[in-house]
Structure 1
Amino acid sequence: MAEVNSARVDSWAWAVRQFKTRSAATTACRAGHVRLNGEKVKAAAPLHIGDEVRIRQGGFDRILVVEKLVVKRVGATVAAQCFRDLTPPPPPRETVPQVAVRDRGAGRPTKRERRDVDRLRGR
């Protein structure tokens, strides 16, 4: 593995296994889901050691600090050494409100059922 001074953001994110494909990483950059040191960046933005990369996936931000630059995709153990993960732990399941689920084909909720759902959601 040769030492490099800088790498593209999309290439690095794909190489350290944050995205399944490089095109998915590029698409995420175009959509504004990837931030470099707090700024939205294009896919070709240069990345250096010590930079903070925020990747929005599944409604949550992953906060990664670049430790090592790689351009080619590497194994999971090597990829874990290329960044320091500062992502806060997800909230406990108890604090996440539960979603009311209706049986398929049950039709629209009645007024009483709708009020019960609203009460569950805290409205």
Structure 2
Amino acid sequence: MTKEIEKLRIDKYLWAIRVFKTRSLATEACKAGKVKLSGQNIKPSYVVKVGEVYHIQKGIEKKVIRVVDLLEKRMDAKTAALYYEDQTPIEDTYGYKSAFHAPILRRDRGTGRPTKKDRREIDDLKEDFFDDDK
């Protein structure tokens, strides 16, 4: 917004807007096909253009961002948010249940290994928790 940047690599842009923690992680994501433009994988050296929409997969998290302006240097998160528009659909944003909120199954000490019946109950409980219906 201050200085006009002519050319900017996608890996550097994704690092600058804080999608990835390091530039090398952004480069690896591009090489692994985790960053897409119109369904096509793009190389880390791809030149970013204002108005383009990128689909990014980072672990189980999926993001859809539109480039508003180019940012060359990494800044604080509030400032970096001005350089892109998050267009991630709400079902993708909250579409997965976090493993941090999963029930922790514990058995009392000394009860031994679970029986076949116990194992089925544990599997049913896990299946119900991670079901998409709920």
Q: Give the TM bin, normalised by the shorter chain.
A: 0.7 to 0.9
CA RMSD of aligned residues (A): 2.6
Partner of 2:50: 49
2:124 maps to amino acid: R
Once the 2 structures are TM-superposed, how far is the Cα of residue 107 of structure 1 from its aligned partner?
Answer: 5.9
Higher strand share: 1
Q: Point out 4+ residue stretches in structure 1 off by more than 3 angstroms.
A: 102-108
Gaps of 5+ in 2: 129-134
Higher helix share: 2
Once the 2 structures are TM-superposed, how far is the Cα of residue 6 of structure 1 from its aligned partner?
Answer: 3.4
Within 2, Cα distance between the matches of 1:14 and 1:102? 40
**More deviation, 40-49/30-39:** 30-39
**Greater relative contact order, per chain length (Cα 8 Å cut-off, separation 6+):** 1
TM-score by length of 2: 0.74
Contact 1:16 1:79 in 2 (8 A): yes
Determine if the alignment matches structure 1 residue 111 to structure 2 residue 121: no
1:1-123 matches, cutoff 5 A: 1-89=2-90, 90-91=94-95, 98=102, 101-103=105-107, 108-120=113-125, 121=127
Paired residue total: 119
TM-score by length of 1: 0.80
Identity %: 37
